[in-house]
Structure 1
Amino acid sequence: MKYLAGRLGALLAVVALIGLLPRLTRTDPALTILHARYADRPPTPAVLDAIRAETGLDGGPLHVLGAWASGLPRGDLGESWVSGQPVGPDVTSALGVSLTLMAASLAVAVLLALALAAGTLRRGAHRRLVTTRAGVGAAVLAALPEFLLAAVLATVLAVQLGWFPALGWGAANQFVLPALAMGVPAGALLGRLLDDALPAVLAEPWARAATAHGMPARRIAAHALHRALPALLPQTGLVVVGLTGGAVAVEALYAIPGLGGTALAAALAQDLPVLQACVLLLLLLGVAAGLAARLGSRALLGPARTDGALPPLVAPKLPTRRTVAAGAVVLGALLIAVVLTGLLRDPLYADAAARLAPPSAAHPLGTDSLGRDVLARLGHGAARTVLTALAVGAVTLLLGLLAGAARAGALTETANALPAVLAGLVVAGIAGPGAWGAAVAVALVAWAPLAAHTSALLAQERAAPHVTVALALGAGPWHRLRRHILPGVLPPVVRHAVLRVPAIALALASLGFLGLGTPAPAPEWGRMLSENLPYAERAPWAVLGPAAALAALGALAVLTSAAVRGRAHR
């Protein structure tokens, strides 16, 4: 009961924040409505006061929140500030589109996960040597953000090869690319987790006994999947939550009329009632997925959930291969070389005579639609993104340590379940698009894994024998904290925070891709990708350059993390 109360309180706090968006925005809502509906009327105080009275924005924060919340049980989501029409019908229609896209993406994810784990399952069912094979390749796929995969698929399969349509929704062939863009990273993550869990499952006594009694391999494999599924369902819930955030970029890129694309358009137009409704439904969709996964796990475990009959699944700790560490070094050196070379060039110089020029000695990676050097913009964009990611990483480290020490479990789980894109939409609705807003949005959710790590390490250190001995010898609380607890907590959490910097950079790039980050003409990898997509058919290098840089950044994050964990396991 305490668990549910804490999570419900955190959820209600987020919902209240969504309801207060009209009062939190730095722009005057009356001016937004006036410019959208009554462009011919002067913005006099009397006109603005009349608009506020008409829309119910003339009251205080509690009045605005109460009016919005009271309409929710009736399905009244307010009226659009831009069109003046009720929000409910359009958002409900968009919800149906998003649910269809998410179902197709989840089907792709499940099929890919089973394919990645098939080798381990087959060998384990026949009692052969079981080793994890999905490993690094699956981890690299899982690290690719949906917007990047969507852009590459659209460029290669739609524009260059013409196999699928690049835009639209409704026909069967229009489902393929969006479902792949969202389903492949999710399936790679689930496949890696399943591949890690299966060796522990197939090493349990029941699997040995079944093999010894001649049970068919297919039945052993089916039982192994059933045994591993409860441990995977919570992660599946998080995957579905991630799909809600990924849907924003994918729907915007492929012009799909779902909740994500609608929310993005509303955030950019400052149409807050539409943004409120879309973010609320995306949030509730993620919460419902997480709850369904938790209930499904409990139902599958049955009485074994409470009587301890089933041991926890512990994946074997395999030493990292030298090739992984070598790959991280090579990839890091290549990225540094590209960045340093680009920093020596002018990212803002536009040569009109060299617009969309192919790679050459003068422009090794070609030029964009304005004649600007792609290599120069990659180099300067990397410097900007990395510096911002380091600053956000430092803030999230501090927030994670404080929240972990305060044992803010409910708030941590709620923040962990919020994709950075949703936070970016909310911040854009309040402060408008911009670099500061993107940094704040990522920081608002990126601290949660560090807080969970800090909380777990604090509990472990406080129960350690050396702390008990120090207490028995009369050491005070500050002495125990400074000399015995923090030395065991800070180094692992700091390493965790450093390893998360590339992921933070990718989150910032995703907001830049959506137009919610650094404004033009400043170079930024995500914005470079979105700016050059319209020219993918004529100048694919302008798209593949930033796409390759972003993919290399994701791969570097995975390889570095794997190398660090492999060294720790030796």
Structure 2
Amino acid sequence: MTVAATVPVRAVQTPVRRALKVFFRTPSGLVGLGLLVIVVLCTVFAPYVAPYDPIKYAPIDRMQGPNVHHLLGTDLYGRDLLSRVIYGGRISLAVSTISISLALIFGGWLGVLAGYYLGWVDTVIMRVTDVFLAFPAILLAIALLAFLGGGFWNLTLAIAIAYAAPFTRVVRAAVIRTRDTMYVEASTALGAGDARLLLRHVLPNAAGPVLVELTLRLAYAILAEAALSFLGLGTQPPAPAWGQMIADGRPFLELNPWVSVAPGLAIMVTVLGFNLLGDALRDALDPRLNR
């Protein structure tokens, strides 16, 4: 009786425990998680971490290299680069997080409808999705910003629209794979409605691939935000943004390369963290790999 009583508990807990065990035994995943924790903490507590005001001019300190007072040096206007990199992370992380959340909500629910109902609903949604996937995301975002104009919210909306289609395709595939399982068919036979099937059975069991895609798209969104800011389509000066800082330092690469190198390193570290985390989550959530 003791064995019979413990079997259901182990059957429920084993997949979760196995996924956590695989993740915490993956060094790359822990490194990625650590990098992201450091970046997020620095940006959230930027007023307490940054040593200087990121937009305060100090002409007497202009174009200094790394030194005791300015660990990453200063830019053309004497502003501390370390402080600007830390505050710039707020904009990059905010744009990427909000835009990818909007893309997941809109594109994800379209994928749910297409994968669950199939038929003409699937045909219409996927043909529209194919049209958006035919354009590179960065070019689509540039076209949208040319119509909407620059700025924080327009940049966020453009990136969200550009990355909604990939979520539609990923969620559709996950829902199709889940809707044909035996436990969904059993719930249908017992009279469960569509809303109950989606919320209780289909979506929770389709969350693994979507979670991995979410982490990777966050990295893509940071790169897209940096590229668009580099082109002058993002947040406008004097507010610091990583891409805009790289563009500002481009004329002074020979005189003081740190003006561009510092924000470039911040982008590299953040994107690397998301990629390592996504790879580790994929290994942990895929039963074919962690078995």
Match of 2:64 among 353, 357, 361: 357
Q: Quick one: distance in 2 between partners of 1:483 and 1:333? A: 31
Please give the secondary structure, in 2, of the residue aligned with 1:345: coil
Higher relative contact order (CA 8 A, sep 6+): 2
Q: Quick one: distance in 2 between partners of 1:454 and 1:330? A: 28
Q: Name structure 1 gaps, 5 residues minimum.
A: 1-318
State the one-letter code of the partner of 2:102: V
Contact conserved, 1:513 with 1:528, CA < 8 A, in 2?
yes
Question: Cα distance 1:472–1:332, how it changes in 2: closer, same or farther (>3 A)?
Answer: closer
Contact conserved, 1:355 with 1:369, CA < 8 A, in 2?
yes
Contact conserved, 1:503 with 1:557, CA < 8 A, in 2?
no
Q: Deviations over 1:80-114 (max 9, x none)?
A: xxxxxxxxxxxxxxxxxxxxxxxxxxxxxxxxxxx
Contact conserved, 1:424 with 1:437, CA < 8 A, in 2?
no
State the one-letter code of the partner of 1:405: V
Q: Quick one: distance in 2 between partners of 1:380 and 1:364? A: 15
Q: How do 1:255-404 and structure 2 match up within 5 A?
A: 322-336=26-40, 339=43, 340=45, 342-404=49-111
Match of 1:507 among 224, 227, 237: 224
Question: Cα distance 1:484–1:337, how it changes in 2: closer, same or farther (>3 A)?
Answer: closer
Superposed CA RMSD? 2.2
Question: Cα distance 1:397–1:336, how it changes in 2: closer, same or farther (>3 A)?
Answer: closer
Aligned length: 252
Please give the secondary structure, in 2, of the residue aligned with 1:372: coil
Question: Cα distance 1:480–1:566, how it changes in 2: closer, same or farther (>3 A)?
Answer: closer
Contact conserved, 1:397 with 1:494, CA < 8 A, in 2?
no
Q: How do 1:38-77 and structure 2 match up within 5 A?
A: none
Match of 2:190 in 1: 473
Question: Cα distance 1:424–1:435, how it changes in 2: closer, same or farther (>3 A)?
Answer: same
Q: How do 1:146-545 and structure 2 match up within 5 A?
A: 322-336=26-40, 339=43, 340=45, 342-407=49-114, 408-490=125-207, 492-545=209-262
Contact conserved, 2:212 with 2:282, CA < 8 A, in 1?
no
State the one-letter code of the partner of 1:460: R
Question: Cα distance 1:516–1:333, how it changes in 2: closer, same or farther (>3 A)?
Answer: same
Contact conserved, 2:55 with 2:79, CA < 8 A, in 1?
yes
Runs of 4+ aligned residues of structure 1 deviating over 6 Å after TM superposition are none
Q: Quick one: distance in 2 between partners of 1:455 and 1:515? A: 35
Question: Cα distance 1:364–1:337, how it changes in 2: closer, same or farther (>3 A)?
Answer: farther
State the one-letter code of the partner of 1:393: I
Q: Deviations over 1:285-319 (max 9, x none)?
A: xxxxxxxxxxxxxxxxxxxxxxxxxxxxxxxxxx8
Question: How much does 1:490 deviate?
Answer: 4.2
Question: How much does 1:344 deviate?
Answer: 4.9
Question: How much does 1:367 deviate?
Answer: 0.5
Q: Quick one: distance in 1 between partners of 2:281 and 2:186? A: 32
Higher Cα radius of gyration: 1
Question: Cα distance 1:335–1:520, how it changes in 2: closer, same or farther (>3 A)?
Answer: same
